[in-house]
Chain A
Amino acid sequence: MRSNGLEYQEQQPDSPIRRRVLGWLVGLINLGVIAGFIAPVLGFISSPARRRREPGEWIPVLNAHELKPGETRAVTYSLMVKDGYMTAEHRYSVYLYHRSDGTVLAFDPSCPHLGCRVEFKERKQRYVCPCHGGVFDTEGNLVSGPPPTGLTKLPARVDGGKIWIQRV
């Protein structure tokens, strides 16, 4: 024994079971603390991904007389959108196609492949994706290239002299 006030005793022989149980408890406590901490953090950061999609409202995007039969036109419109912590004006675009039977088709300009914006080539009457070469006809059907499907159609109608679309 030392005389500096610190006294050390011989370590008591310990039972292996006691050591093992205590070891397990240490592991369990640490796991519990980590899980209790990580779970709410994961829940917090994944919350935007769990939000359910709601069908969008109908939006007037163009005066009906401005779209001639057989014409395809890109129309840009603005929406006040709740974007995370802010509500801001976002600009979107949609392709409108006036079919010969008088109905109007609306296409999301996102390529169904990887989301690039398709361009409508007036001369060829084809939509072309500049990224990976997807080609679609005026009805939005896939003609060639890697996209898995045709263009995404948005619900559209003509009402009160205006063309309305519904964002989905």
Chain B
Amino acid sequence: MAHLIEKTTEKPTPRSDGKPERGAELPHRAGRVGAVRDWIEERTGLFGFIKHHLDEPMPPGVGWWQTLGNLLLTLLIFQFITGFALAMFYAPTPDHAHESVKHITENVPLGAFIRGLHHWGSSFIMLVVVLHILRVFFWGAYKKPRELTWLVGVAIFQVILAFAFTGYLLIWDQKAYWATVVGTRFASTVPVIGEWLMHFLRGGKEVGALTLTRFYAIHIMLLPVALVLLTAAHLYLVRRLHIAGPVVPQKGAPQPFYPYQLFRDAVVVLVGMGLLMTCALLFKPPLYPVADPSGTAFTPRPEWYFLGLYELLKLMPPKLEVLGTVVIPGLVAIGMILLPWLDRSPSRHPAYRKWVIDVGLIVIFLIGTLTLKGILSEPPEVIPQSTSVSSSTTGSR
């Protein structure tokens, strides 16, 4: 009968390209280890699955530029591990957050190093994700059939930005506090729902205890889950559609991913992680004085990757700050999302995608210039002057 359940011992259908199907039979190994391996393989297809992906053919010409995705993935995994370790010593409350970060940095063995890895890791991630995006952009690798791979990648980029923004506040120092005051104020410039949105983000009228718990929950729960799901989708699509080769097809035979491309990946990871560890060893992560809402003598400046936006806001005319906070960043995001459909050229070669490349170069130049301007501009002189009084009146946020 057609619907009888039968023991599945039949051989899998071979792939059209002649390669073995996922989980296809692997040579049986002798010995006890081999028996365990076979037992796992029969039930999960794990080793066949791994072999299938290690044998993935890479088009000729794929090389060092294609190692950035793997480096990014490694950095994200390290960021998760150091974040998990830090969370074991961190207290997300205004009266303990700064103290606990100080304790991590100054008292916990290797604390400054682990915090340094997490702190500098965020900058490395930002740098590598931007390079990865630029590589895909200039190679036109977002074109059919890889539109969804690009879209998921854009979503990952947004999640990484959200990680950077929410992680910022957690150390609860002056810089973190004021950067969050300004950052959440962005939301208030959204027409109609702006004020509500800002209060929703802050968990109240001001940046306070509920802002900290909110950002902490988003940083360690919501964003990691989103990142894992999106990364899984991204990798699935990359493997399903295969890596895009050079814009001009190269002569030669495809090489398997292992060991050729994986070796390049390993070298780049070694260099990248070596640099990160060196940074973490040499440069202690900064920790400013504890957040003080009454301080008038602190000039908030965001991390370098948000300085472009910071400088842009200085250029906006009065009453039009929404252009700098929502409209222009929104247009860049929408442009990235729609890129595979805006670029109608059938060719991936930059010479045949002139307007897209030109617009891209202008945007990169503007963001780069504003970021550089932000880096080079010195914070203005501050004159602390205040008189303190105390009142025991009880108010509410």
Contact = CB atoms under 8 A, between A and B. Distances in A.
Do these two chains really belong together in a complex? yes
B393 A80 contact: yes
B16 interface: no
17 contacts: A48-B199, A48-B210, A60-B389, A73-B385, A73-B386, A73-B387, A74-B387, A79-B394, A81-B208, A81-B394, A90-B293, A114-B182, A117-B178, A120-B296, A130-B300, A130-B380, A148-B319
B333 to A, nearest CB: 20
A131 B310 contact: yes
A85 B299 CA distance: 29
B245 interface: no
Given A119-B382, A130-B382, A142-B318, A81 B397 contact: yes
B32 to A, nearest CB: 32
B383 A121 contact: yes
B111 to A, nearest CB: 26
Contacts of B389: 60-62, 75-78
Top 10 nearest A-B pairs (CB, nearest first) are A84-B210, A91-B294, A84-B209, A49-B199, A130-B299, A49-B200, A93-B294, A115-B185, A74-B386, A83-B208
A83 to B, nearest CB: 4
B148 interface: no
B388 interface: yes
B227 to A, nearest CB: 20
Instruction: Tell me which of B320, B388, B396 has the highest count of chain A C-beta atoms within 10 A of its own C-beta.
Output: B396
Nearest to B316: A146
A61 B209 contact: no
Contacts of B392: 78-80
B298 A86 contact: no
Nearest to A110: B181
Contacts of B314: 132-133, 146
Interface residues of A, number: 60
A79 B298 contact: no
Contact of B391 (A1, A51, A73, A79): A79
B205 A86 contact: no
B201 to A, nearest CB: 8
Contacts of A76: 294, 386-389
Interface in B202-261: 202-205, 208-210, 213-214
Interface string A108-147: 0100011111111110000010111100000000100111
B138 interface: no
The interface residues of chain B, by DSSP majority, are classed as loop
B4 interface: yes
A54 interface: yes
Contacts of B292: 91
Interface string A42-73: 00011011010110110111100010000001
B317 interface: yes
Interface of A: 1-2, 6, 8, 45-46, 48-49, 51, 53-54, 56-57, 59-62, 66, 73-88, 90-93, 109, 113-122, 128, 130-133, 142, 145-148, 167
B282 interface: no
Contacts of A133: 314
B84 interface: no
A130 B380 CA distance: 6
B387 A75 contact: yes
Contacts of A45: 200, 214
A162 to B, nearest CB: 9
B391 A82 contact: no
A87 B396 CA distance: 9
B391 A60 contact: yes
Nearest to B93: A86
Contacts of B397: 81-84
Instruction: Tell me which of B5, B382, B386 has the highest count of chain A C-beta atoms within 10 A of its own C-beta.
Output: B386
Contacts of B205: 53
Contacts of B196: 49
A116 B379 CA distance: 13
B36 interface: no
A51 B200 CA distance: 10
Nearest to B217: A45
A91 B388 CA distance: 9
Contacts of B181: 115-116
